[in-house]
């Protein structure tokens, strides 16, 4: 499957998106992308251990993906706003919670983690932004 096909599959097949590394600062990309995704009808769940337990614009902020799933139910896509060297741990958590896809944001790449996710049956995108891809694909 081509990269564009995977991108389209993830974006059209996801309803619940966890944004790992979400920031409460409006000028941060994680904040604006989460807001964009919510405006497009996705349910957005913020994950940030430093903000956990606080109320954000999309609901309660969770410390981990496991905590978010326990409270909110299944997560379709995990959108990773972490440095590349930290992405692998998030991918492993996404596998553990049964997510359908992992999406590593612009500038985020971990080929070994991507291989683990694909081997576990998850769709993977690296170094792309859904807020760019959705308009580009006309979704």
Mean pLDDT of 20-26: 95
Cβ neighbours of residue 95 closer than 8 Å, sequence gap 6 or more:
116, 117, 120, 122
User: Could you tell me the CA-to-CA distances from 78 to 3, 39 in Å, in that order?
Assistant: 17, 17
What tens digit of pLDDT does each residue of 38-68 get? 999 999 999 999 999 999 998 999 999 999 9
Distance CA 12, CA 133 (A): 11
Exposure string of 24-54, with b = 16+ CB inside 10 Å and e = fewer, is eeeeebbbebbbbbeeeebbbbbbbeebeee
Distance CA 27, CA 139 (A): 25
Check: CB of residue 106 under 8 Å from CB of residue 79.
no
What tens digit of pLDDT does each residue of 110-125 get? 999 999 999 999 999 9
Fold exhibited by the domain 3-134: Rossmann fold (3.40.50)
pTM over the 0.85 mark:
yes
Strands 123-125 and 59-60: unpaired
What tens digit of pLDDT does each residue of 77-99 get? 999 999 999 999 999 999 999 99
Q: What is the pLDDT of residue 40?
A: 96
Q: Is 28 left (phi over 0), alpha (psi -120 to 50) or beta?
A: beta
């Amino acid at each position: 499957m081509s990269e564009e096909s995977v991108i389209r599959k993830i974006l059209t097949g996801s309803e619940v998106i966890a944004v790992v590394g979400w920031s409460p600062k409006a000028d941060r990309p994680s904040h604006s992308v989460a807001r964009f995704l919510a405006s497009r009808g996705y349910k957005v769940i913020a994950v940030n251990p430093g903000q956990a337990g606080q109320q954000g614009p999309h609901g309660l902020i969770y410390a981990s993906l496991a905590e978010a799933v326990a409270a909110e139910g299944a997560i379709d896509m995990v959108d990773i706003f972490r440095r590349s060297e930290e992405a692998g741990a998030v991918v492993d958590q996404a596998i553990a919670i049964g997510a359908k896809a992992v999406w590593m944001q612009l500038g985020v790449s971990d080929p070994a983690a991507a291989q683990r996710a694909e081997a576990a049956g998850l769709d993977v995108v690296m170094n792309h932004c859904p807020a760019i891809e959705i308009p580009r694909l006309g979704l």
